[in-house]
């Protein structure tokens, strides 16, 4: 079990990050025409806007919450709040955002699987990614249950130490920080790392595209057909 813990949480994170960065760079360099969201809004707009807004707002809040929560050193927020307060804040904000995201994601997944036009235009990767995202969101919400049993923030500090140790290249030793945490946390982390692996090969790459030039481009004249 110690070996598996080291493999999944000490070695796999580096494999996932290498695939993420190298794969994303390679796709942008060699396959820019595939770098798009593959939106299906034109095929069927019903319930699309509501589902998309709920999903994207929820996911963005969760993403930046994880980014700040895991990678911000404890010394920076210690003067303002205790680890327990930060954990409660994460439960409340993350819980609300998670509910929004899983409702929106569930609606998008149902639409993609049941709408004939959308299903016909979907690839295996499209279907796989939306299902994995919904499962990951569900696991994230489930982590609230064991978290409510220890609101002192100690477990959250373990995850922060693990994440910061990975990014500071402390090697496989950081896997020991989360050896004894609940299996729901470990499954959530493993699936999150797997999303990093899948990122360069799916429509998820559109997250990196911000249409800044759109706001400064010249007006385009579009004429109706005679």
10 Å Cβ neighbour count for 109? 20
Question: What does the pLDDT average to over 200-220?
Answer: 75
Q: What pLDDT score was predicted for residue 207? A: 82
Mean pLDDT along residues 126-145? 94
Average pLDDT over residues 49-53: 88
Q: With beta carbons less than 8 A apart as the criterion, state whether 160 and 100 touch.
A: no
Give the position of tokens 């110690």. Answer: 2
* Residue 194 scores a pLDDT above 60: yes
Using left for φ > 0, alpha for ψ between -120 and 50, and beta otherwise, residue 72 falls in beta
- How sure is the predictor about 42, in pLDDT bands with cuts at 50, 70 and 90? low
With 90 as the cut, is the pLDDT of residue 223 above it? no
Q: Confidence band (pLDDT; 50, 70, 90) for 39?
A: low
pLDDT, average across residues 30-36 = 73
Of 166, 155, 178, nearest to 13 by C-alpha is 166
> Which pLDDT score, from 0 to 100, does residue 131 have?
94
The mean per-residue pLDDT over the stretch 188-213 comes to: 87
pLDDT of residue 112: 87
pLDDT reported for residue 160: 93
Residue 20 is predicted with a pLDDT of 95
* pLDDT of 173: 83
pLDDT one-digit tens code per residue, 97-115: 999 999 999 999 998 888 8
d(C-alpha 224, C-alpha 226), whole Å? 6
pLDDT above 60 (res 40): yes
Q: What is the pLDDT of residues 141-173, one digit of tens each?
A: 999 999 998 888 889 999 999 999 999 888 778
Number of continuous H segments (helices) and E segments (strands) in the chain:
10, 0
Query: Is the per-residue pLDDT at 83 higher than 70?
Result: yes
Check residue 33 and give its pLDDT: 72
pLDDT above 60 (res 43)? no
Indicate the pTM of the whole model: 0.85
The pLDDT of residue 225: 65
Between CA 94 and CA 110 the distance in angstroms is 23
Q: Above pLDDT 90, what percent of the chain? A: 52
Torsion of CA 91, 92, 93, 97, to 10 degrees: 90
């Amino acid at each position: 079990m110690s070996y598996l813990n080291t493999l999944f949480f000490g070695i796999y994170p580096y494999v996932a990050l290498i695939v993420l960065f190298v794969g994303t760079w390679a796709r942008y360099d060699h396959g820019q025409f595939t770098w798009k969201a593959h939106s299906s809004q034109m095929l069927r707009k019903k319930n699309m806007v509501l589902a998309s807004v709920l999903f994207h707002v929820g996911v963005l809040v969760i993403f930046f919450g994880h980014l700040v929560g895991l990678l911000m050193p404890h010394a920076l927020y210690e003067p303002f709040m205790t680890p327990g307060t930060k954990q409660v804040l994460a439960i409340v904000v993350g819980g609300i955002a998670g509910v929004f995201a899983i409702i929106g994601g569930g609606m998008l997944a149902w639409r993609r699987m049941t709408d004939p036009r959308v299903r016909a235009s979907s690839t295996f990767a499209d279907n796989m990614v939306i299902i994995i995202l919904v499962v990951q969101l569900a696991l994230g919400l489930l982590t609230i249950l064991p978290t409510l049993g220890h609101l002192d923030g100690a477990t959250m500090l373990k995850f922060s130490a693990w994440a910061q140790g990975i990014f500071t290249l402390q090697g496989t030793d950081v896997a020991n920080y989360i050896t004894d945490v609940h299996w729901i946390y470990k499954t959530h982390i493993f699936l999150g790392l797997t999303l990093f692996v899948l990122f360069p090969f799916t429509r998820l790459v559109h997250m990196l595209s911000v249409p800044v030039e759109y706001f400064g481009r010249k007006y385009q004249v579009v004429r109706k057909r005679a």
